[in-house]
Amino acid sequence: MDHIQALIDKLEAESRLSREEWITLIEGRSPNLAEYLFEKARKWQHRYYGNNVFARGLIEFTNYCKNDCYYCGIRRSNKEAQRYRLTKEQIMECCQIGYPLGFRTFVLQGGEDGKFSQEELEDIVRTIKDNYPDCAVTLSIGERSYESYLGLFQAGADRYLLRHETAEGNHYSRLHPPGLSAENRKQCLRHLKEIGYQTGTGFMVGSPGQTAAHLAQDMMFIRELEPHMVGIGPFIPHHGTPFAKEAGGTVELTLFLLGLLRVMLPGLLLPATTSLGTIDPKGREKGVQAGANVVMPNLSPTSVRKKYELYDNKICTGEEAAECRDCLEKRLGKIGYRLAVSRGDYKEEKLCTM
């Protein structure tokens, strides 16, 4: 226990561990050690962001996808999925509902849907920024060319989420069909950072075949990339995918990794994800208490909510945006946090002044 605890201290002091040290730490974790870690994580969380948890309004604007990732419920081959696309007007309505609720970030997330042209996407970004100049726009629309990322940035997009999913090439191939590679994914992330986006990466916890060595590699990749945001959540099987019968990830390991991420890169924007809230009714609260400081309630019209089903039993598919917002505010209040009405940009420096 002591030598493992010392690894947490080392991570805090040096912000780096070797591959072997990561594996020892991840494999040697225990409930006591987790408590030790979470205390440190909360200390850093408070130094950078106080007790603020930032809300991002998630707009799932298309569930068409050209990709066929083995874990994902909206993969091309899932013929059961009922496909939809929101119009620009519907997307603007989501923002109209979200703004008075206090959202100052809109996240446009979708499958890799070729029907939206570069021009259309740029036009949507520009229109949101024109109408809501005090809001940030985050895109989460997959792998694209450097030029496309650049065009969207110039149209006003502030942030981009693209989880690397797993940093290890063979494991990447276990999760994705041929044609998709960890290398290309990482290249996209480097492009996004270079262009100037606040960039988010991340991975699923407990995806099929994942080992402590893979997680070590994920942590090391994140350390090198130095993203502004990292989204991690448990893998949850979806009945209409090749991974239907695989085991899901655990709350316990997800929380431990959230704590490690906060201690390694203390200024991170770190969501307590919907998938964490799906496998445990208190999952998001536990995530915040392990170091997370972002929540991403849904602003999509309730009529399409159930259709954006990446995994089974996803929560909040029936609730209106206002209900989720109030529910989260109450839940956070109970554990001593507040839902912040601000853009919630990444901070280079510690010391919370909010």
Q: Give the nearer residue to ligand FES in terms of CB position, either 21 or 319.
A: 319
Q: For residues 260-319, which are near ligand FES according to CB under 6 A?
A: 297, 316, 319
Q: How many whole angstroms separate alpha carbon 242 and alpha carbon 325?
A: 34
Give the residue from 254, 258, 335 showing the smallest Cα distance to 44.
258
Candidates 6, 244, 322, 327; binder of ligand FES (CB under 6 A) is 327
Q: Is 35 exposed, middle or buried (0-12, 13-18, 19+ CB in 10 A)?
A: exposed
Shortest CB 235 distance to ligand FES, Å: 21
The radius of gyration of the chain from alpha carbons, rounded to an integer in Å, stands at 19
Q: Give the nearer residue to ligand 5AD in terms of CB position, either 53 or 204.
A: 204
Q: Give the nearer residue to ligand 5AD in terms of CB position, either 70 or 346.
A: 70
Both tokens assigned to 80: 């059961």
- Total residue count of the chain as it appears in this document: 354
Sites of contact with ligand 5AD (CB under 6 A):
71-72, 163, 165, 204, 233, 235-236, 238, 275, 310-311
Helix H or strand E encompassing 11? helix 2-14
Q: Does 324 bind ligand FES (CB under 6 A)?
A: yes
Write the DSSP symbol of residue 247: P
Q: Give the nearer residue to ligand 5AD in terms of CB position, either 172 or 311.
A: 311
Q: Does 332 bind ligand FES (CB under 6 A)?
A: no
| Contact assessment for residue 354 and residue 69, using Cβ atoms and an 8 Å cutoff | no
CA distances from 142 to 139, 180, 201, 302, 336 (A): 9, 12, 11, 24, 35
Under the phi-then-psi rule, with left for phi > 0, alpha for psi from -120 to 50, and beta for the rest, what region is 281? Answer: alpha
Q: Does 147 bind ligand FES (CB under 6 A)?
A: no
Shortest CB 311 distance to ligand 5AD, Å: 4
Q: Give the nearer residue to ligand 5AD in terms of CB position, either 28 or 242.
A: 242
Shortest CB 83 distance to ligand 5AD, Å: 16
Residues that bind ligand FES (CB under 6 A): 297, 316, 319, 323-324, 327-328
